[in-house]
C-alpha cells in the first residue's frame, strides 16, 4: 500500500516536472532579438558606431549614437 502511494506520488511529480519544462521552453523559443534585427541600423556621424534607428539621436539632419555626440557634431575636432 505504501509503495503504491509512493509510486503515484512519483508519477504525479514526473508529470508536473514535464509540464513545467514544456511551459518554460515555449516562450524561450520565440526569438526576442527579432524586432531589434528588423530595425534599421544607422551609423553615428561622429564615431561610426552602428545602432538601431530608434536609439539614435538626430541633430542637423545627421544621426548620432548619443546626446553627447549629437552635441559635438560630425566634425573631427
Of residues 11 and 68, the one with the C-beta less far from Zn ion? 68
Distance CA 49, CA 70 (A): 13
Please report whether residue 56 would count as binding Zn ion according to CB under 5 A: no
Burial class (CB in 10 A: 0-12, 13-18, 19+), 62: middle
DSSP 3-state assignment of 18? helix
Only segment of 3-11, 18-26, 34-42, 60-68 that touches Zn ion (CB under 5 A)? 60-68
- Least separation, in Å, of the C-beta of 37 and Zn ion? 21
CB 47 within 8 A of CB 36: no
**Residue from 44, 56, 63, 70 binding Zn ion (CB under 5 A):** 44
Of residues 12 and 47, the one with the C-beta less far from Zn ion? 47
Q: Residues interacting with Zn ion, by CB under 5 A?
A: 44, 46-47, 65, 69
Amino acid at each position: 500500500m505504501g509503495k503504491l502511494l509512493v509510486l503515484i506520488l512519483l508519477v504525479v511529480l514526473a508529470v508536473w516536472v514535464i509540464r513545467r519544462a514544456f511551459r518554460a521552453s515555449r516562450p524561450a523559443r520565440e526569438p526576442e532579438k527579432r524586432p531589434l534585427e528588423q530595425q534599421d541600423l544607422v551609423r553615428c556621424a561622429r564615431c561610426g558606431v552602428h545602432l538601431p534607428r530608434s536609439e539614435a539621436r538626430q541633430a542637423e539632419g545627421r544621426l548620432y549614437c548619443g546626446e553627447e555626440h549629437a552635441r559635438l557634431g560630425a566634425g573631427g575636432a
